[in-house]
Amino acid sequence: MFKFQQADPNNNWTDRNTCVPRALALATKTNYDTVFLACKDAGRPYQRGMYHEQIDRALQTLTGDPCTKLVHAPVQGKYVEVTTPHTRYYGGTMTRWQSLAPTFAQFAASNPVGRFIVLRNGHAVALINGTFLDSAARTCGPRARVTAWCRVA
């Protein structure tokens, strides 16, 4: 079962592209301003996103552990034959790409306990004890694919 809760530790609504600092603040139980400065020191430009290397540096600063890094999901996949009810258009079967990366729902089911920062293409959310925390429900659906994650505590 996919659980979501709306949470936003950022009180400054003029700042954009703050999904990584928000997720880090929620996952590490740290004040948003402290996380914001750690992200700035890691190389985050103002009102811009962060690269994975910058997220790694911010995680290492916040946790105090130099070995803390993101784990990247497999980018491989496979072509599978899919039977479709649209036999008129596809002749009964079609080939499509199936990713091996877990979905948000699969990741939450396999990690019901713990604090994580979870990334998908272009966005980051916090996963705390099986519940995704983000500022808006539209940004993290159960079928979105996980690209990277890190267990924070």
Sign of the dihedral through C-alpha 109, 110, 116, 118: negative
Segment 93-131, tens digit of pLDDT: 667 777 888 889 999 999 999 999 999 888 999 999 999
* Amino acid (1-letter code) at residue 103: T
Between 114 and 75, the higher pLDDT residue: 114
Q: What is the pTM of this model?
A: 0.81
**44: which 2 tokens?**
């985050």
Which residues make beta-bridge pairs with 6?
A: 134
- Reported confidence tier of residue 140, pLDDT bands at 50, 70, 90: confident
Token reading at 83: 């039977």
Q: Is the pLDDT of residue 50 over 80?
A: yes
- Report DSSP state, residue 125: E
116 bridge partner residues: 127, 151
Residues in the chain, overall count: 153
Give the span between the Cα atoms of 151 and 127, in whole angstroms.
9
Please name every residue paired with 104 in a beta bridge, in sequence order, or none if there are none. Answer: none
Residue 62 · residue 27 · CB < 8 Å? no
Enumerate residues 6+ apart whose C-beta is below 8 A from 110: 102
